[in-house]
Structure 1
Amino acid sequence: MKAFKASKKNGGEPSTNTLLLVILAIILPPLAVYLHQGEINKKFWIDLILTLLFFLPGIIYALYVILSEE
């Protein structure tokens, strides 16, 4: 998230890939995390469990993963 904010302050625009992942995170959070990470790891499993139990925390966690690791 800090990298995203720093890039916005410097006048940089988020990449198209990031914007598409954010949109996908709202629709299918685990898929967005998988595409961002490139593998099935613990972040994917955490997001899948959060999404299956409560949809909104899954979205929030997916957005956190995508925007915090630019």
Structure 2
Amino acid sequence: MSVWRVILSVLFPPLAVYDKGCGSILIVLILTLLGWIPGVIAALIILNKGKQ
């Protein structure tokens, strides 16, 4: 996970997971609309899982 992805996931979480698939974008977008913090947490989790 690069520093730019972390910064992007804090500023606009759905854009940070654009290459992880449509489902990930929708989940993060819905969580971001419900609250900024859940969206950021979900984006960081999805980005971290992709690295393993």
Q: Structure 1 length normalisation: TM-score?
A: 0.66
Structure number with bigger Rg: 1
Please, what is the CA RMSD of the aligned residues?
1.3
Identify which of structures 1 and 2 has the higher relative contact order when contacts are C-alpha pairs closer than 8 Å and 6+ apart: 1
Do residues 20 (structure 1) and 4 (structure 2) align? yes
Higher helix share: 2
Per-residue deviation, 1:21: 0.4
Q: Gaps spanning 5+ residues in structure 2: where? A: none
Q: Gaps spanning 5+ residues in structure 1: where? A: 1-13
Count of paired positions: 51
Q: How does 1:1-70 map to 2 (within 5 A)?
A: 18-34=2-18, 36-37=19-20, 39=21, 41-70=22-51
> Which stretches of structure 1, 4 residues or more, deviate above 2 A after TM superposition?
none
